[in-house]
Chains A and B, each alone.
Chain A
Amino acid sequence: MEDPVSSVPYVDRVQQHLESLGHPDIVKLTDAAAAMPIEERVVSRADAHPSAAFNAVVADLLYPLIAGES
Chain B
Amino acid sequence: MLPVIGLYLLFGAGLLLINRRGHGRASTVAGGLIVTWVTVGALVGGAELALRCCYAASDTPMQWTRAGENWIARYMAFNSLGYRDREWTAEDLAGKTVIFAVGDSFTEGWGIEDPALRFPDRLQARLGSGYAVVNLGKGGSSTLHQTQAVMDYPYAKPDIIIWQYLLNDIDVAAISNGLVWESPIPLERPALIEESHLANFIYWRLFRQGMFLSPQGISQWAWLYSAYDDSFIWSIHAQEIDRMVDYADSVARA
Contact = CB atoms under 8 A, between A and B. Distances in A.
A59 B125 CA distance: 10
B228 interface: yes
B58 to A, nearest CB: 5
A56 to B, nearest CB: 6
A50 B104 CA distance: 12
Interface string A51-69: 1100110110011001101
Given A43-B111, A47-B58, A48-B60, A21 B245 contact: yes
A50 B107 CA distance: 9
Interface in B47-84: 57-60, 62
A9 to B, nearest CB: 8
Interface residues of A, number: 31
B160 interface: yes
Contacts, number: 93
Contacts of A63: 123, 126-127
B54 to A, nearest CB: 17
12 contacts: A7-B221, A10-B224, A10-B228, A11-B167, A17-B241, A43-B58, A46-B208, A47-B62, A48-B60, A49-B58, A50-B106, A55-B117
Interface of A: 3, 6-7, 10-11, 13-14, 17-18, 21-23, 43-44, 46-52, 55-56, 58-59, 62-63, 66-67, 69-70
